[in-house]
C-alpha cells in the first residue's frame, strides 16, 4: 500500500533484496580468497615482471673493478717488455698545479721509454691518488681515445687546485729580508718565477731590482742600470762572492766559542741545556710543496700572523745563518725542522 506517496516494500521484496546482498558478499569473499592464493603462488616462484618486492630488493653492491675509460686501440696496445715506470714521481692527490704534474709525468715517461699515446694513457693512472684517482674511476667507459683528451679533462677538473700558482704581479710582493743573503733572495725569487708561464723578461728584471734590500748593492744597480737579465745576474754573482767572503772572514775572527756568547738568565738555571719542543702529532701530512713555501704563502695571504717577537728575540751575530725559518723569520733552524710550523700546517691540513 502507498502511504503519503512513498512506496513501502513488501515482505517478499525485502527477502529478495536480502538474498541478493548475501550472494554479493559470497562472490566478494571468493574473489578475495583467489587473490590471496595467487599471491602466495607468485611469492613461491619469485618476483614476476610488473611487480616489485621492495622488502626483498638487495641494495646494489659497490663495484670493485674500475671501468676502462680508454678506447679499444689504447686498451689492446701491447706494452714493451723492457718498459719500466718511473719511481721518482709523486702521485697527484688533487692539490697543486695539474699542468705541472702532466709535464713532469710526460718528461719521466719520455726518459724511461717510448712516449706514445697508448703508453702515456695506460701509465697515467698509476700516478694518481686520493681525489685524483676517484676522478679517474668515474670517467665513462671508452671515452678517452688520446692522451690529449685525458690531459685536458684532468686539467679542467683540477684547475681550481692551482693554489700555489701565481701571476707576474706576484713578483712585486717578493722582497729581500733585512737579514737575508743575496743568494737566498735570488734562489727564492727564481723558484717563484719557475711557476709563472710566459713571464716577460722585462717584468722579471724589474721585479728583481725592486725587491733588493736598500744598501750599497742596490745603489750600484740603480747607477749602472743593467738592461739585460744576464747582465744583472753577472753583477749578482760577483756580489754573492763578496758576501760569502765577508761571512767567512767574520767566522774566522770569532774570539770565543758560540756557547760562551749566549747570554744566560739568572732565573733559569737550565738555560744551558738544549730546549726541544715535543711534536703534538704522531703523523704529519706529506705535501706536494715545501713547507717553507706554504708558510710564506699563508703569511702573505694573512691567513695567520707571524709570532709577535719574530726577528727580535735572538742575537743575530752568533747564529747559524745557513738555516732560516720562514715562520719565525729568524735563523738557527729551518722551516722543516720547526716543530711549531709543522704542527700549525697539520692543524690547517
**Residue 214: per-residue pLDDT:** 92
Label residue 171 exposed, middle or buried (CB < 10 Å: 0-12, 13-18, 19+): buried
Q: What is the pLDDT of residues 173-195, one digit of tens each?
A: 889 998 899 999 999 888 888 76
More confident of the two residues 101 and 273? 101
Q: How far apart are the first and last CA of the chain?
A: 98
Instruction: Tell me how far apart the alpha carbons of residues 349 and 344 are, in angstroms, rounded to a whole number.
Output: 9
The answer on pLDDT for 212 being more than 90 is: yes
Per-domain boundaries in the chain: 72-161, 168-256, 291-348
Domain 168-256, what fold?
1.10.1200
Q: What is the pLDDT of residues 144-169, one digit of tens each?
A: 999 999 999 999 888 876 655 567 78
CB atoms inside a 10 Å sphere around CB 217? 19
Instruction: Tell me how far apart the alpha carbons of residues 2 and 112 are, in angstroms, rounded to a whole number.
Output: 113
What is the model's pTM? Answer: 0.36
- Grid cell at residue 70: 680508454
**Residue 217: per-residue pLDDT:** 92
Query: Cell numbers 738557527 label which residue?
Result: 332
Q: To 10 degrees, what angle do helices 182-193 and 201-210 make? A: 150
The answer on pLDDT for 127 being more than 50 is: yes
Strands 324-325, 330-331: pairing kind? antiparallel
With beta carbons less than 8 A apart as the criterion, state whether 156 and 148 touch: no
**In this predicted structure, which of 71-80, 232-241, 285-294 has the lowest mean pLDDT?**
285-294
Q: Of 25-39, 106-120, 268-282, give the range with the top mean pLDDT.
A: 106-120
Strands 324-325, 6-7: pairing kind? unpaired
Residue 70, strand partner residues: 144
Instruction: Tell me how far apart the alpha carbons of residues 28 and 304 are, in angstroms, rounded to a whole number.
Output: 79
**Residue 211: per-residue pLDDT:** 93
Amino acid at each position: 500500500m502507498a502511504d503519503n506517496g512513498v512506496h513501502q516494500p513488501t515482505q517478499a521484496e525485502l527477502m529478495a533484496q536480502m538474498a541478493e546482498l548475501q550472494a554479493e558478499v559470497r562472490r566478494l569473499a571468493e574473489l578475495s580468497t583467489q587473490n590471496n592464493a595467487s599471491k602466495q603462488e607468485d611469492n613461491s616462484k619469485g618476483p614476476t615482471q610488473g611487480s616489485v618486492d621492495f622488502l626483498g630488493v638487495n641494495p646494489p653492491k659497490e663495484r670493485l673493478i674500475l671501468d676502462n675509460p680508454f678506447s679499444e686501440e689504447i686498451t689492446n696496445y701491447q706494452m714493451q717488455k723492457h718498459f719500466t715506470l718511473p719511481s721518482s714521481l709523486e702521485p697527484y692527490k688533487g692539490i697543486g698545479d695539474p699542468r705541472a704534474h702532466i709535464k713532469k709525468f710526460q718528461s719521466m715517461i719520455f726518459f724511461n721509454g717510448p712516449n706514445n699515446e697508448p703508453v702515456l694513457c695506460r701509465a697515467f693512472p698509476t700516478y694518481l691518488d686520493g681525489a685524483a684517482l676517484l676522478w679517474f674511476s668515474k670517467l665513462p667507459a671508452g671515452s678517452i681515445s688520446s692522451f690529449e683528451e685525458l690531459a685536458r679533462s684532468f686539467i679542467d677538473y683540477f684547475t681550481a687546485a692551482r693554489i700555489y700558482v701565481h701571476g707576474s704581479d706576484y713578483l712585486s710582493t717578493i722582497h729581500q729580508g733585512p737579514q737575508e743573503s743575496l743568494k737566498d733572495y735570488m734562489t727564492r725569487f727564481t723558484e717563484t718565477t719557475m711557476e709563472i708561464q710566459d713571464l716577460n723578461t722585462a717584468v722579471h728584471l724589474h721585479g728583481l731590482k725592486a725587491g733588493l734590500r736598500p744598501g750599497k748593492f742596490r745603489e750600484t744597480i740603480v747607477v749602472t742600470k743593467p738592461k739585460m737579465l744576464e747582465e744583472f745576474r753577472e753583477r749578482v754573482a760577483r756580489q754573492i762572492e763578496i758576501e760569502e767572503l765577508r761571512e767567512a772572514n767574520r767566522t774566522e775572527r770569532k774570539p770565543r766559542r758560540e756557547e760562551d756568547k749566549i747570554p744566560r738568565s739568572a732565573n733559569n738555571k737550565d738555560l744551558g741545556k738544549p730546549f726541544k719542543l715535543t711534536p703534538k702529532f704522531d703523523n704529519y701530512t706529506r705535501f706536494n710543496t715545501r713547507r717553507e713555501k706554504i708558510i710564506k704563502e699563508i703569511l702573505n695571504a694573512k691567513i695567520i700572523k707571524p709570532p709577535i717577537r719574530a726577528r727580535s728575540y735572538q742575537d743575530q751575530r752568533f747564529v747559524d745563518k745557513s738555516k732560516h725559518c720562514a715562520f719565525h723569520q729568524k735563523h738557527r733552524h729551518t722551516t722543516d725542522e720547526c716543530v711549531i710550523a709543522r704542527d700549525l700546517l697539520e692543524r690547517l691540513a
